[in-house]
Amino acid sequence: MKNNKLLLIFTRNPELGKVKTRLAKTVGDETALKIYIFLLQKTREVSLKVSSDKAIYYSVKIRENDIWDTNSYQKHLQMGDDLGFRMQHAFQQSFKDGYQKVVIIGSDLYDLTPEIIENSFIQLDTSDVVLGPAKDGGYYLLGMKTVHPAIFQNKEWGTASVLRETLEDLKDKKVSLLEELNDVDVYEDIENHPAFQQFLKT
């Protein structure tokens, strides 16, 4: 453990037909996989510039020789039946390992920057929880100094009510909100984004 801050990155193993399934309905499985690999590489590029320890949490299987270099990233497997349980387990493990500030992100955000992540750690100096609102009603980042179990329970993950319900669970806590960003889930998220035109040319 190099410092007291840990960045968790939740990823799906990049397999054909298993990633970006909502996007694949429009662009096809092969293009959806290419876009997801592109997003993984972008997430790696951004996270390497963050001055915290880093851990990758794989959805299915830990990969040894992939883009996540073991010199820079701890490697773990997500545990639990739904996203809430999986995130809660990852936070609990991180605090058990001695980290004092833990932030989690996914791997489908092209517009996330190292500065936003660094700022989330700074916000935890004065806030109990930090959240990065996503345009679809969820959140792209969650940071805490201790586990708040209620926010991981009774959520319809991937729906527009997640952020609102999470804030309701935290109404007696000091919450810091970051700028709103758009994660990549469906075709409309990328159709006009310059970075993705290379995948959409017919």
> For 96-129, what is each residue's pLDDT tens digit?
999 999 999 999 999 999 999 999 999 999 999 9
pTM for this prediction: 0.95
Q: What span, in angstroms and rounded, lies between the C-alpha atoms of 2 and 100?
A: 12
Q: Mean pLDDT in the chain?
A: 94
- Which residues have C-beta within 8 Å of that of residue 35, sequence separation ≥ 6? 20, 23, 27, 184, 190, 196, 199
List of domains in the chain: 5-192 (3.90.550.10)
User: 45: which 2 tokens?
Assistant: 């590029």
